[in-house]
């Protein structure tokens, strides 16, 4: 699934998929319950491809962190964001991304990350890809087919 099609909307729980857009609003579909809604342009909307997390070396794109969590969990669910302890969630995330800067990342950020991971897992969204990877795959496929002939 393309990570650039997935949004987080301020004040609304969960993740949303872009259905249509115009100058003044977006039409989105909740990835949790499938309900569609209109989001005005005045609401703060974050594209998951634009989000990074702090590490001691450099900021890591959220796509890489989510894909690492998926590999580490071997396709299984992460600890539940609303019933697991903060330490359990922190240990789970640290097992996939070892050098997170916990002085700048709050427990609420980690809970949201785990919630998003579980939502994407239920939608079979892994592996997450960005637009550059998808464009690269499209250009490689015709070249491989021609070389086989």
Specify the residue for token string 């539940």: 80
CA atoms within 13 A on the CB side of 139: 6
CATH (domain of 25): 2.30.30.730
**33 lies in a domain?**
yes
Give me the pLDDT at residue 129, please. Answer: 81
Asked whether residue 139 is domain-assigned, the answer is: no
Whether residues 55 and 44 fall in one domain: no
Q: Residue 1 has what pLDDT? A: 75
Give the tens place of pLDDT for each residue, 82-91: 777 888 989 8
Contact 28, 36 (CB under 8 A): yes
Least confident of 4-13, 75-84, 135-144: 135-144
* Domain co-membership, 24 together with 86: no
Same domain, 104 and 69: yes
Domain count along the chain: 2
Same domain, yes or no, for 14 and 72? no
Same domain, 83 and 96: yes
Same domain, residue pair 96 and 112: yes
Query: Is 140 within a domain?
Result: no
Residue-number span of the structural domain to which 85 is assigned? 51-122
pLDDT of residue 139: 57
113-140 residue pLDDT tens: 999 999 999 988 877 887 665 555 555 5
Length reported for the chain: 149
> Mean pLDDT across the stretch 71-90?
84
- The reported pTM is 0.81
Res. 27 pLDDT band, cuts 50 70 90:
very high
Q: What is the CATH number of the domain that holds 95?
A: 1.10.10.1650
Phi-psi region of 65 (alpha: psi -120 to 50; beta: other; left: phi over 0): alpha
């Amino acid at each position: 699934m393309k990570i650039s099609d997935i949004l987080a909307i301020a004040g609304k729980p969960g993740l949303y998929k872009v259905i249509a857009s115009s100058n003044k609003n977006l039409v989105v579909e909740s990835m949790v319950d499938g309900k569609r809604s209109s989001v005005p342009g005045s609401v703060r909307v974050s594209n998951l491809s634009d989000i990074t997390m702090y590490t001691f070396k450099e900021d890591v794109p959220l796509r890489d962190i989510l894909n690492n969590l998926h590999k580490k969990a071997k396709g299984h669910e992460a600890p539940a964001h609303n019933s697991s302890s903060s330490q359990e969630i922190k240990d789970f995330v640290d097992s996939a991304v070892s050098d997170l800067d916990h002085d700048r990342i709050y427990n609420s950020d980690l809970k949201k990350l785990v919630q998003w991971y579980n939502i994407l897992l239920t939608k079979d969204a892994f592996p997450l890809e960005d637009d550059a990877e998808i464009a690269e795959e499209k250009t490689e496929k015709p070249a491989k087919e021609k070389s086989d002939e």
